[in-house]
Amino acid sequence: MSPDHSRSFVTAASDMTTPPDEHFDVIVVGAGPAGSAAALVAARAGLKVLLVERGEYPGAKNVSGACFYGSAVLNELIPNWWEKAPVERYVCRRDLVLMSETTAVSMDFRSAAAGYVEPPYNAFTILRPKFDRWFAAQAEAAGAFLLTSTVVDDVIKERGRVVGIKVRREHGEVRGDVVIACDGVNSWLAKKAGLQRDLHDHEVSLGVKEVLGLDEAVIRERFHLTGNEGVAYEYVGAVTQDVRGGAFLYTNKSSLSVGIIGQVSSLVEAKKRPYDILEHFKSHPAVAPLVRGGKLREYSAHLIPEAGWKMMPQLVAPGMLIAGDAAGFCLATGLYIEGINYAMQSGIAAAKAAIHACACRDFGKHTLARYTELLWPHNVFTDFRAFKHAPGFVNGNRLQNLYPDLVAHGTEMLFQVNGQAKQKILPLSFKVMRQYKVKSRHVLSDLYKVARAYLW
């Protein structure tokens, strides 16, 4: 451990020519939420930390919706963080919407309870390029060295242990006692270290997103918001056409984040282009009035690891740990699309394990395995295990394509006043089920799956 941090490497690195020749206690690859959280915690413990990021600045290439549910987690690292960070709006309303081609049926949740409209807030909308830059700066302020515009190509292994990284520059080897891979979904580093396999198309989704500029006053009026209140909409059903996935719309200060998410295997099968699905979504009668007049500011696309508990790689190797999306820690269950908070939680756990290993001067697998123990009290393993059946259920064909349509059509019939006798809900439901050729045994089996995924 060396609290006397020399800045020479960073100075040298910024001109992109001098080879990095210093030894670090911890090298963190990727300055997303997982990497910056890990670097911040390790640097605060007095370790010499290098945070390497391929982007021109942290967040430059990062994509999320982004509704950030990790307010309480971050509050433990940086008290009242929302007063200093570039947040957009706090989320006091959530709409989960089932869509047919013409109709939307939503569960509208709004709350004025503590936590939703008062600090520490439950969730915030954020824009990653601003937020990630700020968060990485907190790690720097704690003493971590941030090296941007630098791609990490490989790990250095000696006698079966990871002892550093190879960066894409001349003589680009950097040595460190612990390498924490936070390089996102499809982690190159995890694969190079032999800890992760290639992901299957059904384990990842492609998200495409637009940021649409809209006047602040228009946003408040259109979404019935006051002050800095915000709303998060999540959609499932005909919005993604035949593709398994969903869509989202989040309010920022003076823009909307609008996007669709489609399972990669399903996009290929349906031969659909994500951009066309996004256009289709924006033209839905329930969405078009919300996005009307929005001016395109940004367009981005990114993969999401969605198979949860079932796609986790090996998380620990001698000298190396894997956190965040690189470890598959994105909870996509229909009820939740949460990755940023789990990225931070796992980054913190990885840093604590690295601190422990540095204190023992033992970087073997056994000592670093403290990381997986810490993932339980940090509520990563708890949540992913609890919802391990949800990703499979959410991506089932009936839930994706049939039930949203059926519920929308049933609700249309329920609310239609056309001079005919009204039907009570049970006979009406059977009638709609017959129309959609839904068999009772399918409904029963799906109810069991819902219960298994979400109830117990």
Ligand X SMILES: Cc1cc2nc3c(=O)[nH]c(=O)nc-3n(C[C@H](O)[C@H](O)[C@H](O)COP(=O)(O)OP(=O)(O)OC[C@H]3O[C@@H](n4cnc5c(N)ncnc54)[C@H](O)[C@@H]3O)c2cc1C
Q: Residues interacting with ligand X, by CB under 6 A?
A: 29-35, 52-55, 58, 61-69, 151-152, 182-184, 188, 207, 209, 259, 261, 302, 304, 324-326, 330, 337-341, 343
Q: Cβ closer to ligand X: 100 or 257?
A: 257
Closest approach, Cβ 58 to ligand X, in A, equals 6
CB of 62 to ligand X, least distance (A): 5
Q: Are the beta carbons of 3 and 145 closer than 8 angstroms?
A: no
Q: How distant, in Å, are the alpha carbons of 174, 181, 361 from that of 354? A: 17, 12, 10
| Least Cβ distance, residue 280 to ligand X (angstroms) | 17
- The dihedral sign for the CA sequence 152, 314, 303, 144: negative
Name 23's Cβ contacts closer than 8 Å, sequence gap at least 6.
Answer: 48, 175, 176, 177
Taking the complex as a whole, the smallest distance from the CB of residue 180 to ligand X amounts, in Å, to 11
User: Which of 250/393 has CB closer to ligand X?
Assistant: 250
Which is closer to ligand X, CB of 62 or CB of 103? 62
Specify the residue, 143 or 184, whose C-beta has the smaller distance to ligand X.
184
Nearer to ligand X, 115 or 364 (CB): 115
Please say which residue, 338 or 405, places its beta carbon nearer to ligand X. Answer: 338
Handedness of CA 285, 286, 292, 295 (dihedral sign): negative
The residue nearest ligand X at its CB is: 339
* Residue 44 or 94 having the CB closest to ligand X: 94
Burial of 361 (0-12, 13-18, 19+ CB in 10 A): exposed
Residue 104 CB, shortest distance to ligand X, in Å, is: 20
Say what the alpha-carbon torsion angle 49, 50, 51, 57 is, to the nearest 10 degrees: 130
* Close Cβ partners of 25 (under 8 Å, ≥ 6 residues apart): 1, 2, 42, 47, 48, 49, 176, 177, 178, 354, 358
User: Of 72 and 359, which CB lies nearer to ligand X in the complex structure?
Assistant: 72
Rounded Cα–Cα distance for residues 319 and 365 (Å)? 7
Minimal distance, residue 42 CB to ligand X, in Å: 15
| Cα–Cα distance measured from residue 180 to residue 34, given in angstroms and rounded to the nearest whole number | 10
Output the smallest distance, CB 448 to ligand X, in A.
29
The residue among 61 and 130 lying less far from ligand X, judged by its C-beta, is 61
Nearer to ligand X, 100 or 346 (CB): 346
179 vs 340 by CB, closer to ligand X: 340
Query: Rounded to the nearest whole angstrom, what is the least distance from the CB of residue 82 to ligand X in the complex?
Result: 16
Residue 65 tokens, joined: 């919706």
Minimum gap (Å) between residue 405 Cβ and ligand X: 24
Q: Which amino acid is at 20?
A: P
Min dist CB 248 to ligand X, Å, is 7
Single-letter code of the amino acid located at 407: V
Cβ burial of 413 (10 Å; 0-12, 13-18, 19+) is middle
Least Cβ distance, residue 414 to ligand X (angstroms): 32
Which is nearest to 69 in space by CA: 327, 330, 301?
330
Please report how the helices 340-360 and 33-44 are oriented relative to each other, as an axis angle in degrees rounded to 10.
Answer: 30
The answer to whether 318 touches 368, Cβ cutoff 8 Å, is: yes
Least CB distance from residue 206 to ligand X, whole Å? Answer: 8
CB-wise, 236 or 408, nearer to ligand X? 236
